[in-house]
Amino acid sequence: MTQTWTRSLPAISPETKPFWDACRERKLLVQRCRDCSKYQTYYRAFCCHCWSRDVEDIAVPGTGTVWAFTVAYQNKTPGWEDFVPYVLAAIELDEGVKLMTNVINTRPDAVHIGMPVKVTFVDATDEVTIPYFEPR
């Protein structure tokens, strides 16, 4: 089902371009530091743990659990008013890092902390694909 995307789109910078390119290929990337071996999200040019600049992109399976969430029942931001109610969640990936995202393809009242989820991708435009999560 093709929908017209009405919400804002991410600002893609040279630093985040590999992440967004991978999303278009239905792959979820996180970064891992080659010096301390820790994972991180969101994308940046250095390790948030040890400050090393030696970070690499790692494709991950995109499985995890709902760590925290809230349900938005109203939002007057252009493009979001027709999307309510929606679930905004912190997802803890199996690799231990957390992502802020939406949980889709389920009723908001079915979402719970500890719920197993997996990544799914929604094409916002021909150039931008957004990673969301759904029950697994």
Closest residue by Cα to residue 117 from 101, 126, 129, 125 = 101
In a domain, 23, yes or no: yes
In a domain, 9, yes or no: no
Residue type (1 letter), 122: V
Task: Provide the number of structural domains found in the chain.
Answer: 1
Domain containing 130: what range? Answer: 17-135
Predicted TM-score of the model (pTM): 0.92
In a domain, 84, yes or no: yes
Tens of pLDDT along the chain (136 residues)? 456 888 889 999 998 999 999 999 999 999 999 999 999 998 889 999 999 999 999 999 999 999 999 999 999 988 888 889 999 999 999 999 999 999 999 999 999 999 999 999 999 999 999 999 999 9
In a domain, 1, yes or no: no
In a domain, 4, yes or no: no
In a domain, 85, yes or no: yes
